[in-house]
Amino acid sequence: MSDEIGLRPVTAEDLDLFEREFGGPEGTGPYQWFGFGSPAGLRRRFAETGLLGPEGGMLSVAEAGRTVGRVEWFPGTWGRPATSTCWSLAIGLVPAARGRGIGTRAQRLLAEYLFDHTRAERLQAWTDRANLAEQRALEKAGFVREGVLRSAQWRGGRWHDQVIFSMLRAERSGGEPQ
């Protein structure tokens, strides 16, 4: 893995890459394929907000200046939205960027960004119970495994268990409270 992993705002060229790479099951991989969809909504949001706003956002993951994926955040609630909202995180890497530590670094950078620029107390992410690579990446990024959400995600004609992870503001340095 290059030490030159960074996050930056999405560009129009990135949208083309995302459509090409994540528009079918080959690019998304078995744990993120939810069927074909129109890219029009993403392009409309990009034109309106640049995919950055108070309700969440998307940043490109770059390795040595070359886009290799994206990270996203969106609200998650555990009660009343006014008092119990946290950020939920997601990542998508092009196949050539997987298994090289890029996802770990990108998710750590996103956590740092959100703790630095929002008032979030909690960040959370989940992945398929069978996606051991993403579970390891989240743990290496400083997230703590909380448990299994049974039959929580519909994909590929059946329900799938998800493993949920979180990071609290006090845990932001490698999982150790500050």
pLDDT of the chain, 178 residues: tens digit per residue? 457 999 999 999 999 999 999 999 999 999 999 999 999 999 999 999 999 999 999 999 999 999 999 999 999 999 999 999 999 999 999 999 999 999 999 999 999 999 999 999 999 999 999 999 999 999 999 999 999 999 999 999 999 999 999 999 999 874 444 4
- CATH classification of the domain holding 28: 3.40.630.30
Residue 10 Cα to chain centre, angstroms: 14
The answer to whether position 123 is within a domain reads: yes
The answer to whether position 176 is within a domain reads: no
Strands 85-93, 122-128: parallel, antiparallel or unpaired by DSSP? Answer: parallel
Give the span between the Cα atoms of 110 and 102, in whole angstroms. 12
pLDDT value, residue 2: 53
